[in-house]
């Protein structure tokens, strides 16, 4: 059930101190947490969070850079904040951030949202078509099951070249 809120959460880069809240949010959403704490410890700014005025983390998304590509991972919105456009805003922010960083393509794995991500330009791809640096991430190798759907989106100059 969604709730209408009078305040809009603030988006910001995550900090190491956000790790417990992020892990709790991912666990609550049924998403894998393997490797997330390590990514946050290495560079917490790889994750964007949405938080309320009370500093409650209500949404998260990660951008794990792998050479010229990146893995969009750990996209979750707390149940009571769903269906208010927060997830959409968060994914848009992460895609824009990836473009600003010069990332050529974004990849993701999903068990439940293959119909959600096409609105952001993602298409289903064969797992064996994913670049090696993405395929070798913990998320691809073990955190997500082999039945997860792989998706990709070209960015920047790569996207324009494909048009």
Helices (H), the chain: 19-28, 36-43, 86-100, 132-135, 138, 156-162
The model's pTM is 0.86
For residue 39, the cross-strand partners are: none
Which of the four pLDDT bands, split at 50, 70 and 90, describes residue 104?
very high
Angle, alpha carbons 82-140-91 (nearest 5°): 30
pLDDT digits (tens, 9 = 90+) for 61-97: 999 998 899 999 999 999 989 888 899 999 999 999 9
CA dihedral 64, 36, 127, 63 (to 10 degrees): -20
Neighbouring CB atoms inside 10 A of 40's CB total: 22
pLDDT digits (tens, 9 = 90+) for 44-71: 999 999 998 888 999 999 999 988 999 9
Can you read off the two tokens belonging to residue 51? Answer: 């938080």
Strands 69-77 and 105-110 come out as: parallel
Q: What does the pLDDT read at residue 1?
A: 44
């Amino acid at each position: 059930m969604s709730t209408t809120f009078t305040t809009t959460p603030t988006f910001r880069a995550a900090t190491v101190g956000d790790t417990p809240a992020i892990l709790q949010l991912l666990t609550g959403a049924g998403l894998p947490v393997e490797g997330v704490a390590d990514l946050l410890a290495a560079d917490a700014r790889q994750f964007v969070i949405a938080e309320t005025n009370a500093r409650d983390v209500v949404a998260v998304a990660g951008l794990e850079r792998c050479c010229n590509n990146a893995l969009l991972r750990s996209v979750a919105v707390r149940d009571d904040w769903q269906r208010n456009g927060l997830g959409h805003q968060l994914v848009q922010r992460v895609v824009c951030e990836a473009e600003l960083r010069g990332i050529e393509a974004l990849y993701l794995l999903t068990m439940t949202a293959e119909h959600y991500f096409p609105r952001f330009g993602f298409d289903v791809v064969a797992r064996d078509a994913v670049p090696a640096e993405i395929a070798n991430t913990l998320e691809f190798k073990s955190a997500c099951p082999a039945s997860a759907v792989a998706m990709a989106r070209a960015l920047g100059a790569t996207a324009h070249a494909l048009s």
